[in-house]
């Protein structure tokens, strides 16, 4: 990991198309401004972790239980 120290207002350039600027600094948080083209997707890491976790949980689905859920669902959707 590359660790850089930046002051308020300073910028970091990543590759040819991405830049990250320190916009505001509070005691325990930093506000960052990110410039990137639409092809580069920017996410908070914890969101991706949450989704990963969800997918992992889904992959362990008890298929017998799902059959039962499906039966109930069909009844509800009919109404």
Partner 1 sequence: MKIKTKQFGEIQFSEDMLVHFPKGIIGFEKCRRFLIVHDEEYEPFRWLIAVDENEIGFPVLNPFLVENEYDKELPHRLVKRLINAEKPIEIFNVVTLNGEGGKVTINLKSPVIIDYDEKKGEQLILSAENIPVAKPIS
State the residues that interact with partner 1 by CB under 8 A.
41, 43, 47-48, 50-63, 65-67, 69-70, 73-74, 77
- Residue with smaller CB distance to partner 1, 29 or 63: 63
Radius of gyration in angstroms for the set of CA atoms belonging to the chain, rounded to a whole number:
22
Q: What are phi and psi of 37, to 5 degrees?
A: -70, 160
Q: How far is the CB of 53 from partner 1 (least distance, A)?
A: 7
DSSP 28: S
- Least separation in angstroms between residue 17's CB and partner 1 is 18
């Amino acid at each position: 990991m590359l660790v850089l120290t930046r002051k308020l207002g300073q910028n970091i350039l990543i590759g040819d198309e991405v830049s990250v600027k320190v916009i505001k600094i509070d005691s325990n948080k930093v506000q960052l401004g990110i410039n990137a083209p639409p092809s580069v997707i920017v996410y908070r890491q914890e969101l991706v972790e949450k989704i990963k976790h969800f997918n992992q949980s889904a992959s362990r689905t008890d298929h017998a239980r799902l059959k039962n859920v499906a039966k109930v669902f069909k009844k509800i959707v009919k109404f």
